[in-house]
Amino acid sequence: MLTTNLLHADDGLDDGPSVSPSLHQSVNYIARDVKHLAEITAPMASEYYTRRGNPTSARLAKVIADLEGGETGMIFASGMGAIATTLMAFVQNGDHIVGQQSHYIGITEMLDKVLPRYGVTATRVDQTRVEAFERAIQPNTKLIVLETPVNPLLHLTDLRAVCDLAKSHGILTCCDSTFATSVNQRPMDFGVDIVLHSATKYIGGHHDLLAGSVTASRALVERIWDLSVTTGATAAPFNAWLALRGIRTLELRVLRQNETGLALARFLEEHPRVERVFYPGLPSHPQHELARRQMSGFGGLVTFDLKGGYSAGLAFIEKLRLAVYATSLGGVSSTVVQPAALFGNRLHDDVLVKQGITPGLIRFAAGIENTDDLIADVGQALGP
Ligand SMILES: *Cc1c(COP(=O)(O)O)cnc(C)c1O
């Protein structure tokens, strides 16, 4: 069902005879006459000037909107292009945002540093506690920013509970659903207004493009589109085309990654060299019940804490033969990082530990390699 829709959601959008979608590598489009010119310059029309829209990007946006159960959407040059533009589109000087203690670093920067420069304040709360969101709401709160699951410990946010709360206060909600993917989680089913993805990750899925997506009602997307025309973080058509190719296999890849994620998490939880495993699919995850209510699969991201700390982490990564030592996630190849090493030169140890980034913490992002091969490799790298 899902993959069938993935392949057919954009049927009829492109009239050419090719089986593969056309790449509209064009900045501008020819108006037939003045009446047609009025049509193609309408908001979100995709055949006038590519900063305002592009047929290849529109096609990708339609496939994503179909997956998410949303009305429409648009594609950006990167996940951050989508997120920054969305946040800015709904606030002005004097407004307030509620966000989470843990977010993708770019969202944290927006909330803590960028928006305050323009008179927009933000309160970041413990996402695992609905009442913390409630307490943070002020009369001038315009937006609640959600992200679930989130780095580093794969905490979840109760989307239904927070969205009910937001609705009762007339506050808009947006959710970065990158880690979950549209296969494992549909935030709109729980009341989220705007769904954001870094398409760079699972949607693209092949480590070769940067893109971002927004899905929402037509009225909300138009408002974001309106600002995007000015900020110009529009996707390159070629990247949208690559992402369109990538997304056709999203379900196949994510189902494999779910299988590997769960098997790896179970394997690690039993392993004597592992202190603790963080994975929403394990009963030991403090929000496992919520994960089962809100997600249909638990993903390929597994975080775990090695006994032996920092040096054990370095040694483990060095011994891995399949997963590559690289940032990012969601592509066909498994990637592994040690968060303390990523942030080590920018933050003090106590700050890291407060965020749950212990020295021996490892983030393993499964690719689509064979599950047993990946587990055998992790096993040999952990040592006897
Ligand atoms: C990577 C990522 C982003 C940013 O996406 P880019 O495409 O790199 O700009 C935002 N949110 C999450 C959860 C991410 O993993």
Reading the chain (384 residues) residue by residue, the pLDDT tens digits are 788 889 889 888 876 788 899 999 999 999 999 999 999 999 999 999 999 999 999 999 999 999 999 999 999 999 999 999 999 999 999 999 999 999 999 999 999 999 999 999 999 999 999 999 999 999 999 999 999 999 989 999 999 999 999 999 999 999 999 999 999 999 999 999 999 999 999 999 999 999 999 999 999 999 999 999 999 999 999 999 999 999 999 999 999 999 999 999 999 999 999 999 999 999 999 999 999 999 999 999 999 999 999 999 999 999 999 999 999 999 999 999 999 888 766 667 777 777 788 999 999 999 999 999 999 999 999 998
Residue 104 in contact with ligand 1 by CB distance below 6 A:
yes
Which ligand 1 atom is at minimum distance from the Cα of 211?
Answer: 7
Torsion sign (Cα): 197, 365, 264, 323: positive
Residue 78 in contact with ligand 1 by CB distance below 6 A:
yes
Residue 336 in contact with ligand 1 by CB distance below 6 A:
no
Residue 235 in contact with ligand 1 by CB distance below 6 A:
no
pLDDT at residue number 254: 98
> Phi and psi at residue 353, in whole multiples of 5°?
-65, -35
Q: Cite the residue boundaries of each domain of the chain with CATH code 3.40.640.10.
A: 2-247
Residue 379 in contact with ligand 1 by CB distance below 6 A:
no
Which ligand 1 atom is at minimum distance from the Cα of 83?
Answer: 10
Inter-residue contact 327 to 200 (CB < 8 Å)? no
pLDDT at residue number 320: 98
C-alpha of residue 235 to centroid of ligand 1, in Å:
14
C-alpha of residue 147 to centroid of ligand 1, in Å:
11
CATH homologous superfamily for the domain 251-382 = Aspartate Aminotransferase, domain 1 (3.90.1150.10)
Which ligand 1 atom is at minimum distance from the Cα of 329?
Answer: 15
Q: pTM above 0.95?
A: yes
pLDDT at residue number 11: 87
Q: Cite the residue boundaries of each domain of the chain with CATH code 3.90.1150.10.
A: 251-382
pLDDT at residue number 345: 60
C-alpha of residue 198 to centroid of ligand 1, in Å:
5
Nearest to 125 by CA among 69, 75, 165, 66: 165
* Angle made by CA atoms 22, 27, 31, in degrees to the nearest 5: 90
Protein residue closest via CA to atom 7 of ligand 1: 79
C-alpha of residue 176 to centroid of ligand 1, in Å:
9
C-alpha of residue 37 to centroid of ligand 1, in Å:
36
Residue 181 in contact with ligand 1 by CB distance below 6 A:
no
C-alpha of residue 213 to centroid of ligand 1, in Å:
10
The residue whose CB lies within 8 Å of the most ligand 1 atoms, and thus the one to mutate among 201, 209, 303, is 201
Inter-residue contact 325 to 337 (CB < 8 Å)? yes
> Phi and psi at residue 17, in whole multiples of 5°?
-85, -5
pLDDT at residue number 344: 64
Residues 150, 157: Cα–Cα separation, whole Å = 9
Residues 338, 5: Cα–Cα separation, whole Å = 37
Residues 65, 189: Cα–Cα separation, whole Å = 13
Residue 85 in contact with ligand 1 by CB distance below 6 A:
no
- CATH number of 2-247, picked from 2.40.40.20, 3.40.640.10, 4.10.93.10, 3.10.20.740: 3.40.640.10
Inter-residue contact 173 to 188 (CB < 8 Å)? no
C-alpha of residue 36 to centroid of ligand 1, in Å:
37
